Amino acid sequence: MISLVLTYCLATGADCHDERPLLPEQEASLTVMSCAVAGQQIGAEWVAEHPGWLLQRYRCEIDRPKTRDT
């Protein structure tokens, strides 16, 4: 299974966090390429809705269980 991980930081760079969005069911069997494309689109939408935050990076994780951020 491939999951998308987006890292957002405040524009000041002081605070960063990861988001692991749940993708629509039709994208449950993502390929690495479709994950990368979805990352660009979902990241841009999130930044548009959250002024003051920047998309620092995104990545696609393969067969890595979700963990809770601490």
Look up tokens 């390929």; give the residue: 31
pTM above 0.85, yes or no: no
Identify the pLDDT of residue 8.
95
User: pLDDT digit string (tens) for 27-64?
Assistant: 556 788 888 888 889 999 999 999 999 999 999 888 76
Q: Which domain holds residue 11?
A: 2-62
Quote the tokens at residue 64. Answer: 């890595």
* Domain count across the chain: 1
CB 4 within 8 A of CB 39: yes
**What whole-number distance in Å separates Cα of residue 22 and Cα of residue 41?**
14
Stretch (H or E) spanning 1: none
pLDDT confidence of residue 55: 93
Q: Is 43 exposed, middle or buried (0-12, 13-18, 19+ CB in 10 A)?
A: buried
Domain contains 27: yes
